[in-house]
């Protein structure tokens, strides 16, 4: 509360946005419950002309405690920055390229060229943005040999040969790359689960954790997934 009051004392401040958890009229921020009564008391301060907006994961509340709602056509939008993959047809499939925080699943039969396509794309992108190739299918030496065979300029591309989810996320969090490829999602496992890599529970948990990282950090995360003859994503004995 003291930090909020100090912010409200700033004469140049017009609007104060606070992000917390909960529902309209009862949002928790840093362990403190902020409700309509507290909003009214803050608005009675000398610097009470500042509009306070409380944002939760579900809605927003203004200083009057009313739910913030607007017409879809009135929402301010901006053109998303597109990042080229370096492959024209790949860009076209993605709608012009990647966008920050995007999660993409590249599925296909084993040996169809998923890893080669993404390695070529990452090598191109790494010249302008930080990129990490997380290899669970092949060793670092195998990936390096493929890059040399393709004649790729991969001097700026980082490689991580790891399949433990917690170590992968820790490495990504430390490096903060613009894009990371997980090849493949079926090989990654979490120590929090006892099931084997590739099981339904493991793939679901690992995909959820990496997706959460992508959304929180703005990193583009690309999953490689094998599919069955029927075209379904292969996960252990289950198909998705």
pLDDT of residue 44: 65
pLDDT of residue 59: 47
Pairwise CA distance, residues 117 & 124, whole Å = 11
Render each residue's pLDDT in the chain as its tens digit; 240 residues.
777 777 777 777 777 777 666 655 566 766 677 776 777 777 666 555 677 776 665 444 444 444 556 677 766 676 778 999 999 999 999 999 999 999 999 998 888 899 999 999 999 999 999 999 999 999 999 999 999 999 999 999 999 999 999 999 999 999 999 999 999 999 999 999 999 888 889 999 999 999 999 999 999 999 999 876 666 665 544 444
Return the SS3 of 41: helix
Q: Token pair for residue 35?
A: 């409700």
pLDDT of residue 3: 76
For 19, how many CA atoms within 13 A lie in the half-sphere containing its CB?
A: 1
pLDDT of residue 11: 73
Which burial class, exposed, middle or buried, applies to 118 when counting CB atoms under 10 A from its CB (0-12, 13-18, 19+)?
buried
Which burial class, exposed, middle or buried, applies to 177 when counting CB atoms under 10 A from its CB (0-12, 13-18, 19+)?
buried
Number of helical H runs and strand E runs in the chain: 7, 13
């Amino acid at each position: 509360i003291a930090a909020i009051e100090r912010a409200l004392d700033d004469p140049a401040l017009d609007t104060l946005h606070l992000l917390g958890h909960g529902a309209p009229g009862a949002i928790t921020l840093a362990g403190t419950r902020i409700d309509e009564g507290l909003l009214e008391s803050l608005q009675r301060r000398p610097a009470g002309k500042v509009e306070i907006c409380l944002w939760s994961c579900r809605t927003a509340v203004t200083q009057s405690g009313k739910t913030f709602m607007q017409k879809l056509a009135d929402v301010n939008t901006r053109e998303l920055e597109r990042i080229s993959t370096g492959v024209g047809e790949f860009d076209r499939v993605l709608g012009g390229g990647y966008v920050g925080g995007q999660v993409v699943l590249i599925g296909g039969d084993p040996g169809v060229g998923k890893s080669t396509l993404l390695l070529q794309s990452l090598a191109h992108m790494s010249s302008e943005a930080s990129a990490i190739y997380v290899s669970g299918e092949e060793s670092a030496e195998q990936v390096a040999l493929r890059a040399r065979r393709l004649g790729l300029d991969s001097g700026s591309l980082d490689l991580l040969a790891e399949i433990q989810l917690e170590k992968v996320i820790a490495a990504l969090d430390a490096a903060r790359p613009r894009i990371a490829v997980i090849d493949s999602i079926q090989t990654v496992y979490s120590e929090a689960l006892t099931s084997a890599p590739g099981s339904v529970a493991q793939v679901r948990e690992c995909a959820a954790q990496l997706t959460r990282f992508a959304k929180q950090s703005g990193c583009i995360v690309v999953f490689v997934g094998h599919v069955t003859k029927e075209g379904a994503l292969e996960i252990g004995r289950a198909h998705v």
